[in-house]
Amino acid sequence: MMNAFIQEHDLFPAALPFHTGRLCRDNHNLYFEECGKKTGRPILFLHGGPGAGIAPSHRRLFNPDRFRCVYLISVDQVSLVRLPRSRRTPQNY
């Protein structure tokens, strides 16, 4: 069992990201992955929160043969603590 709501047989085959990166603006940092079909219908999957991140099983929620999925997460507060003090954003705490 993947978690309490997602069963292994409900998931699509695993897909590796074809593009990853970070979007940085005004001291905010977002991580993203793109998976699936590059010319497929776009889907934006937002995920985040303290310690949440993106799991490989999230890439299996959508059909990689039909969709171009962009998985976007905010860098959680735990990760922000690891930044130099000069790069921290007080409103995130």
CB atoms within 10 A of CB 36: 23
Kindly tell me if the per-residue pLDDT of 7 is higher than 60: yes
Q: Give the pLDDT confidence of 15-56 residue by residue, as tens digits.
A: 889 998 888 777 677 788 899 999 999 998 877 655 566 778
pLDDT at residue 46, rounded to an integer: 79
* Cβ(32)–Cβ(18) below 8 Å: no
* pLDDT range class, residue 59, cuts 50, 70, 90: confident
Domain spans in the chain, listed from the N-terminal domain onward:
17-82
CB atoms within 10 A of CB 20: 13
The CA-atom distances, in angstroms, between 45 and each of 33, 51, 57, 84 are 10, 17, 13, 29
- Taking the C-alpha atoms of residue 38 and residue 17, their distance in angstroms, rounded to an integer, is 10
Find where tokens 């985040």 sit.
Answer: 48
Mean pLDDT of the chain: 74
pTM attached to this predicted model:
0.66
Q: In what order do the strands lie in the sheet with 67-74?
A: 19-25, 28-36, 67-74, 41-47
